[in-house]
Structure 1
Amino acid sequence: MARHDARNWHDCTKMIGLLCLIASVLQHGVSGQRVKVEPEVSSYPGQTVNLRCAFTDATGIQLTMVTWIYEPKDGDRINIAVFHPNYDPNYPDSPVKGRVSFTPSPPNLDSPSIQISDVKMTDEGKYICEYATYPRGNEQGITYLVMLAKPQNSASIVTVVEGTNPVAVARCESVDGRPAAQITWETSANGNATTVSKPGANNTVTVTSEYRMVPTPEDNGKDITCVVSHRTQVRAERFPLKLEVQYAPQVTIAGYDDNWYIGRTNAVLTCQATGNPVPVSVQWKTVSGDIPDTVQISGNELRVLKVDDNVNTTFVCEVKNSIGISRDQVTATIREPSVNPSNAGVVAGAVIGSLLALLLVAALIAVLVTRSRRQQQGYRANGGSDMKTRIFGGGKKASKNGTGGGAGSGGVGGGNNNGPIYVYNDGSSHQGLGEKNNHHQPLTMGGRPEVVASTPTAQDILLSNELDDAERRKFDELEEEGYDHFPGGAPILQLRPPHDEDDMMGDYLDDGMESQRDGSVISRTAVYV
């Protein structure tokens, strides 16, 4: 029974101790908030820094003493400054002794701040302001002193030779910085970066980054940029670079168009080569070993002055630089002569022009032939010229019933269209110009005799195949003489009124002919016998 009670007492004691520990921690955490300090202070070497500290609410609490403690990143705590109201400030031995002091001076317990002059990179670390109070015990606040050092940044290209294994093609460094710098890369090349940090002088850090990749000729000259970011810089520092990859020459022969025909002149092949370093020599060869006599070589250009069977070979261009030798080749195939496109154009133009000329001449001939035929048909249809037709005719205007409209029916003065019609008939040698129909009947209209002829007209005479050139000339002579004198015994015709002889030519020229339904042609001017 007693053993059981003892065990219960021990368990209760352990529980109370745990509760007391938790209460102490909580109390310490709550009381620690009364000590106000700056969480972080930064400084450059050689400057003076102020580390502020104050107890915000001392109600019911007695402040006994203040101690400043320095705790380096890798090391033990060290008291660097102590202040008690009843004593003078004390500065124990420490890395900052002689450079640390309370401010203001003399200090007070309400705000026992300190300052450190001529700070060094090794002064970086944790600084603790700790109060000794009654009855709560010790309370503290922590400030981190961060030492800054602006690094020296640089970047460079690493010249490499094309290969199959990853190598460093660019390097970037940030030397003696505090804190450590951040380095990144910007490029289209396919690779990745490796970064290494190492301690530098006076507690600084040096960061080195390399960009590694498998170098190829295509990567030569590509852009790559090193970007360095640091707390001491307003903006990131950038270093633009270009990759430097060395490779053997890459050779291509240009200019062969597969149209080398016999007789062609000035066929040119050009050896195009790129390389890093720049190629130093270009050499032309043939697989047979001999360069044809018609071939002329000048640097990277091979010119065939005139194509013949001798250039039916394979040409080789060989280029060299410090990395290696490369070559390319082309085999020329000789063809039969082809028509020059320019001559073909001239020939085609000449053929087309000739065809057009022939078509033009044919069209002109067709027009002339057609015109000639129309003139012949017109001569036959009209009975010859108008002057010949005027020999036969009647009045000025004919009505449908054949009588002139001015003098009544059958009046001669009114322009009778049925006036006498005379024809020329070579069948009667003595008659000459006579009546086609012997049966005619003279009529007296208004005191003037009128001769009425039969159906044959002047058109019949002129369209007759019996007329020859001599007979047609007779008609021309008759027309020129005005029919005043005509051998043959026929009546003499006058183509003008007897009362107006002076105006004979005017009436004659103004006379017109009119076609009849029966095919005859009658003059609109009356004929007086």
Structure 2
Amino acid sequence: MGRARRFQWPLLLLWAAAAGPGAGQEVQTENVTVAEGGVAEITCRLHQYDGSIVVIQNPARQTLFFNGTRALKDERFQLEEFSPRRVRIRLSDARLEDEGGYFCQLYTEDTHHQIATLTVLVAPENPVVEVREQAVEGGEVELSCLVPRSRPAATLRWYRDRKELKGVSSSQENGKVWSVASTVRFRVDRKDDGGIIICEAQNQALPSGHSKQTQYVLDVQYSPTARIHASQAVVREGDTLVLTCAVTGNPRPNQIRWNRGNESLPERAEAVGETLTLPGLVSADNGTYTCEASNKHGHARALYVLVVYDPGAVVEAQTSVPYAIVGGILALLVFLIICVLVGMVWCSVRQKGEWGGTWTLWLVGCGARKEAGPRARVTRGRSLGAGFQIPLHLGPR
């Protein structure tokens, strides 16, 4: 500050010495906008410059440059150009306190000056997202998003699964910057656990199309579920069976209990956490086995009915399945053959003009024959060896 004052007297003396013919000289400036921390260039354009004194001052009216010579010790300001056409200074690491009007003064008989207004914008930082209280299945969760510092006030938006959520925003001015907050509420289910909620902040200080985002991972607590998986579908005497209790829940149950109905587990059984191992199975191990798990939101129980077969019974059960399949296929083929033969008879009657009479289909293996009579009557089917008889009446009686 003292140095700036020391330049005031020389400034007046030089102005007095240089005062003279200078009519027509002009100075022009342009307003500048810069993001905090960025670089700004302040330009004073000179018209019909005749060598008069040019002074650049900051918003506090401290002289930065006097005819191209540094007057204020602030290395962030650099003189980039001093010519008869323009004076250009460069400000790096722009700060809020740098904002204001910069004076470009041309000292002639009549002092000319113009003001270049520097505006400093503040880009928002990454928003801070917090949850008001723990989310529980079937309830509502409330999230808050805060941007404590921005200029102009940032716009906050919420997104879930790429769809925008409607939030409620508020802002408060703190000096030259704004604090902006937004809240959003929605109902949650267990399937929402681990979902991503995004809070996005934007303002003019950020490049076009850019924003600051914070992702919040939903933590939804819910009651447990349990399901038992067996290491094999059919077990025989002497086999080793491993049962696994697949448990879900938030918080995850930290203890799993294995039981066998109203009886105790076999002495050979080994229960370790989610697995129950039953080695050397015998028929006495038959029964209903259960696994149980719980957390502060509920209790879950899964059942598994164990039936131990002897080797012979298991083989019979396994080999009987293909015969059932083959029998079903054969029955389907017989039905299709009947449908085809009925269609053939119908077409034959239509083509030959024979209408009315009794048609009897004899199916013996893959053979068939027809009988037609002049009278329209129904013939009762009779069994013929391995085949069978289907009476079919066509036309009016």
Which structure has greater strand proportion? 2
TM-score by length of 2: 0.47
Radius of gyration: which is bigger?
A: 1
Q: TM-score, normalised by structure 1?
A: 0.37
